[in-house]
Structure 1
Amino acid sequence: MKPLYVYSEELLKYRFNDTHPFNQMRLKMTTDLLKSAGFLNDSDIVGPRVATEDEIKLVHTEDFVEAVKRAGHFELSEEELINFGLNTEDTPQFENMHEKCSMLVGATLRAVDLIMNGRAKKVTSLAGGLHHGFTGKASGFCVYNDAAIACEYLRQKFNQRVLYIDTDAHHGDGVQFTFYDNKDIMTYSIHETGRYLFPGTGLVTERGVDNGFGFSVNLPVDAFTEDDSYLEVFKESLERTAEIFQPDIIVSVNGVDAHYRDPMTHLSLTSKSYEEIPRFVNDIADKYAHGKWLALGGGGYNIWQVVPRSWAQVWLAMNNIEAPKGRLPEEFLSEYKPLSKLEFPENWEDDLSDYMEIPRRPEITEKNQLVLDRILMYLE
């Protein structure tokens, strides 16, 4: 029952255009890093499948699915594109959009099937984690919301209570609002406050409605939050959430865009956090969720300096391998260092020579503690 890793180069085809910041080359780089370091073998890898339309419609409306299909053939009018969120700078239409998105969703559902059919208790599928997609509208680089589809697939097909954990710097709004009135799927998101960052949601007071009241947990941390404050807030609140909810399985989105070198957010985490976050989720899965954990990708827009090393830690945590230190594999460095226009990291851990001290550290830490205190009060 060793962990498994869902991957195929077909998943690299989810790409808006050549200048868009969402670049799935990060997925190939992560896989190549793990392979060249000897942490990932061909026997660990399982190929994706294509999600069916019925599976996609577990979350998305029929008219949206039809719109995505037509957008992939450039058949939608400007008005229709606007209505479905498919002509924005963030989420423009691209060729064969439905087919490529269905493969990405299918990779996530393949991971679910591997767990629920007894092939593995833990599976990594880093192609997924598109948590901003809404039931009838694309948003924030996300067309079909594979994370939400996986949660609903688990609920409907396998009668599972799902704890959804989102550590992306951006609030997991699409997943939260899909299940805002649902008590069988608990959504937990720790993210940069929406005061400064898309999508602007994820307030502490967003707790769910009707049957789902109390089943949405949000920890909006202050801009420039650093490792120690983040990890304290994260660990205490997540442990309490899992203890109360007692899930059957965990689905996590492992965005790594809270790193201080990410160009799209304002948080200040280092490789220390990305070593500890997945290992803590792994422990929570073992302690509260029968060891069942599906780990998805998410955000991460510095593909050269941040994403491969940070995402690699998810697979390593799943396999109970300590975070490696020292020099990256020579094979990986020789392949990718010449391609990078940025100073390419040579070690597993960050070189912090460019890390700027945060002058408001005590104030930021105090604000984050107040957020934690409020959440813990709600969870009593």
Structure 2
Amino acid sequence: MSGRAAIVHDRSLEEYGFGEDHPFNPLRIRLTLELCDALGLLDGYDFLAPEPVSEEELTSVHTLTYVRMVQQASRGAGDPERLLDYGLGTPDNPLFAGMHEACSRVVGGTVLACRLVAAGEAEHAMCISGGLHHALRSKASGFCIYNDAAVAIALLKRERPGIRVAYVDTDAHHGDGVQWMFYEDPEVLTVSMHESGRYLFPGTGGVDEKGRGAGAGYSVNVPLEPFTGDDSWIECFEAVVPEVLRAFGPDLIVSQNGCDGHALDPLTHLCATTRLYEHIPRRMHELAHELCGGRWVALGGGGYDHWRVVPRAWSALWAAVSHRPLPERLPEGWLLEHAQHSPVELPRLMRDDPADYPPVPRIKEIEAANRRAAEAALKTVLHLIRR
């Protein structure tokens, strides 16, 4: 920790992964941190190592039965057919030895980051191993075993009664797990901008998902059309996120910064560039200072072009968290070390050249559809938040 920012990480957090052939590979975290170091962005910062959360802390959002199932799977025990009922042992969430301990430590990283910021020990904090936003109360989903953001928010609410937490998710996939866990809670605002569930996992996140009961109006979704680029994404972000955050009045902001909306990502159909992944952290930083004394926790999330996209996008995230300017070029040493292993040619600049990403056909229709989705989201929730 240095000054106003903290970075939470330990090599043990990189044990959470499903093998070299699985998209969710901790290699992307290692490449990111080595790039941050080579860029000089880690100078003056020490990693803060988290402890794994306890079973009791996990059950703040997950059922005890589910936690016990994960523990069994982690030991190579349990009935495979029954484990499948809990999303364990699927192609998305294959079993691996020690999975309970590995994911519990990731959750611990996000919890530590949130506690540091809530206590005023750091103004901002980042844990890029976090962002496992698909895990449900009793089921693993979408590469996520436990839901670190949801556990951290639930524990903040327990430890600091009355705290208001805004969760802003700009992963290409809908932040469904966090949304459902706080769907009836007016003290937690969830905002998700993602590729429409009509085309992409998990198939949810329409504008009509706006919360229930006392939480009506506190879930905000902006589903984006496939092939959405920077301009439309930023326009919708600026139309929705600042307004709903101001109406809600958070005490702390947690952002999930999946970068799988990049045009090079192999798992989605969006067309963002590094411009988006500089804009969003910069704006989250500004909004945190405007609304809640700078209290901002930044998490990782999706991102499956491990070599060209994730290290640059999350280095830009850490630059925003740590108040550092982002260098123009990737360091020659980092490039030389990793070019021999990369299956693709590595970029030499930290920012994409817009000429390499021309607008897709139908861009006007895509932008108009996204604009309608943003307007519908605001109409659906703003009057409810302002009750």
TM-score, normalization by structure 1: 0.97
Aligned alpha-carbon RMSD (Å) = 1.2
Deviation digits for residues 69-110 of structure 1 (CA, Å, limit 9, x no counterpart): 000112111221111100211011110111111111111111
Partner of 1:122: 124
CA distance in 1, matches of 2:355, 2:78: 49
Q: Which runs of 5+ in 1 are unaligned?
A: none
Out of 297, 301, 321, the position equivalent to 1:298 is: 301
Q: Over residues 157-179 of structure 1, what are the superposed CA-to-partner deviations in whole Å (9 max), with x where a residue is unaligned?
A: 12321000000000000000011
Deviations 1:286-314 (A, max 9, x none): 11122100100000000001000001111
Mapped to 2, the partners of 1:377 and 1:364 lie a distance apart of 20
Unaligned runs of 5+ residues in structure 2 are: none
CA distance in 1, matches of 2:138, 2:43: 39
Rounded Cα–Cα distance in structure 2 between residues aligned with 1:232 and 1:324 = 26
| Amino acid corresponding to residue 303 of structure 2 in structure 1 | G
Secondary structure at the aligned position of 1:304 is classed as: coil
Paired residues in the alignment total: 379
Structure 2 residue identity aligned to 1:171: H
**Which whole-Å CA distance do the structure 1 matches of 2:153 and 2:121 have between them?**
19
Distance in 1 separating the partners of 2:47 and 2:99: 25
* Greater Cα offset, 135-144 or 337-346: 337-346
Match of 1:3 in 2: 5
- Select which of 155, 179, 183 maps to 1:180: 183
Kindly indicate whether residue 145 of structure 2 is the aligned counterpart of residue 143 of structure 1.
yes
1:61 corresponds to: 63
| Contact 2:229/2:359 (<8 A) preserved | no
How far did residue 356 of structure 1 move?
A: 4.8
CA distance in structure 2 between the aligned counterparts of 1:28 and 1:176, rounded to whole angstroms: 29
Q: Kindly report which structure 2 residues correspond to 1:1-380, keeping only aligned pairs within 5 A, or say none.
A: 1-41=3-43, 43-159=45-161, 160-325=163-328, 327-351=329-353, 354-378=356-380, 379-380=382-383
What is the Cα deviation at residue 353 of structure 1?
5.7
Q: Counterparts of 2:306 and 2:354 in 1: how far apart (Å)?
A: 18
- The Cα shift of 1:113 comes to 2.1
Q: Distance in 1 between matches of 2:156 and 2:185?
A: 14
Cα distance in 1 between the residues matched to 2:31 and 2:12: 14
Letter in 1 for 2:208: T
Whether the 8 Å CA contact 2:118–2:252 is kept in 1: the answer is: no
For 1:81 and 1:105, the matched residues in 2 are separated by 21
Deviations 1:258-295 (A, max 9, x none): 00000000000001111111000111111112210010
Question: Displacement, 1:323?
Answer: 3.6
Cα distance 1:91–1:42, how it changes in 2: closer, same or farther (>3 A)? farther
Query: 1: CA distance between counterparts of 2:210 and 2:378?
Result: 13
User: Any idea what SS the aligned residue of 1:19 has?
Assistant: coil
What is the percentage of aligned positions where both structures have the same residue? 44
SS in 2 for 1:189: strand
Matches of 1:243 and 1:135, distance apart in 2: 29
TM-score (norm 2): 0.95
